[in-house]
Structure 1
Amino acid sequence: MAADRQTVLAWLADLAATIVSDVDDLADVTARIAAAPALDSAAFATEALALMRIIAESVTAPDDFDRISVPAMATGETAKASEILVAMGAAIAGCRAEWPSRPAARRARSRVSSAGDAGAEAAGTLGGDGADLYAWLSAVTAISCRLISEIAADAAPVIRIETGISLPSTVLAYQLYGDAARADALVDLAGSATPMVMPTQFDALAS
């Protein structure tokens, strides 16, 4: 696939700098990105997939999972290459992120499925060379969706809270869970602008 190598590598470098927290892994990724332009086409494609795997395996937070998306500047063959990488990255990262609730896990599963479909479609444009990649991406996506379904089944459901008056998040966290330290998570899920004044109606974890 005749992708713009510099666009792909710059995107992978940005993802690594943001997501990869292990010092040794980040150093390894950085060195391999620097060496990748000298590889032939087949070796470059294999290396790009390996780099995305390392990045995706470093994901623990939902925000990092969301960062694995096709770069806006990618077009044509570069966009297709990015879709293939995102399909694999999302499938791996979706199983590793710590989803705070059942709906969050289900949304992740939907995104993994959509990314897998786009990646498989891109692989399908490669003709005979893409047949194995198409089958592999389809299998990885299916396995990931099944694992995320199991995660969703075990995750806490979300309930609707109505207080009638605005209260601080620490008060609400203590009333709901007996633990004021869960206030930050309450604010995040509710989408509140400030922890001091929560909405009178918001979503929260059931337990």
Structure 2
Amino acid sequence: MAADRGTILTWLADLSVAIVTDPDDLADMTARIAAAPDIDAGSFANEALSLMRVIAESVDELADFDRLAQPVAASGMTADAIAIMLGMGLAVAGCRPDWPSRPSARRARSRVSSAGETAVAAIDQLGGDGADLYAWLTSITAVACRLISDLAADAAPVIKVSTGVSLPSTVLAYQLYGDANRADGLVNIAGSATPLVMPTLFDALAS
């Protein structure tokens, strides 16, 4: 049974709306997705990878990177096809955000590596027909992991902060960095759901 084009295209359409911010790129993506059901199998595979590349190259925020994931509805050959697209997409996208900390960059690198392994396992099932794709995806995954490692080396380390009393994130941001505008980033690193009442023990960037 072939991969379900409808599931793949719906997934790509949802990602494009959520991640692609350039109006011209989004309009082009929408038109290409609308035309994709009628093209032959080989062309569809190439088009799906091309669409995934545009989405990945539009990733600028950490939340966008996190959106690149298998849809719940995918299974069998459809899941394999999406795994291949994700392997490529995460490798491209992982090098784009300004990772705020070493742990976040390392988590991204781990995710890129894992997605690459899943993708090449899916490609391996294609036999000789997937040899070029296997080599290409293995290469870009390795390059992406090296680049993210470099980004991790330049990112700020994370420290534990203990306050003894709950304080607003703006106050803590000013105390830690001299800049209350960094409160949102402080909340994200700490994983706090209540910016006005931060935990008394939390993770924060060292600088």
Q: Smaller-chain TM-score range?
A: over 0.9
What's the RMSD between the two structures over aligned residues? Answer: 0.9
Matches for 1:10-159 after TM superposition, within 5 Å: 10-159=10-159
Q: Deviations over 1:20-74 (max 9, x none)?
A: 0000000010000001111111100000000000000000111111111111111
* In structure 2, distance between residues paired with 1:33 and 1:95: 25
* In structure 1, distance between residues paired with 2:78 and 2:125: 13
Q: Which amino acid aligns with 1:54?
A: V
The Cα shift of 1:191 comes to 1.4
Q: Which amino acid aligns with 2:54?
A: I
The Cα shift of 1:198 comes to 0.8
The runs of 5 or more residues in structure 2 that have no matched partner are: none
SS in 1 for 2:95: helix
* In structure 2, distance between residues paired with 1:128 and 1:195: 54
The Cα shift of 1:2 comes to 2.0
SS in 2 for 1:96: coil
The Cα shift of 1:179 comes to 0.4
Aligned to 2:196: 196
* In structure 2, distance between residues paired with 1:165 and 1:141: 44
* In structure 2, distance between residues paired with 1:57 and 1:181: 28
Q: Tell me the TM-score normalized by structure 1.
A: 0.98
Q: Deviations over 1:102-138 (max 9, x none)?
A: 1000000000000000000000100111111111110
* In structure 2, distance between residues paired with 1:27 and 1:193: 36
SS in 2 for 1:95: coil
Report the more deviating stretch, 106-115 or 162-171.
162-171
* In structure 1, distance between residues paired with 2:124 and 2:70: 18
Q: Which amino acid aligns with 1:34?
A: A
The runs of 5 or more residues in structure 1 that have no matched partner are: none
Say how many residue pairs are matched: 207
Report the more deviating stretch, 188-197 or 149-158.
188-197
* In structure 1, distance between residues paired with 2:167 and 2:135: 52
Structure 1 runs of 4+ with >3 Å offset = none
SS in 1 for 2:123: helix
Aligned to 2:6: 6
% identity of equivalent residues: 69
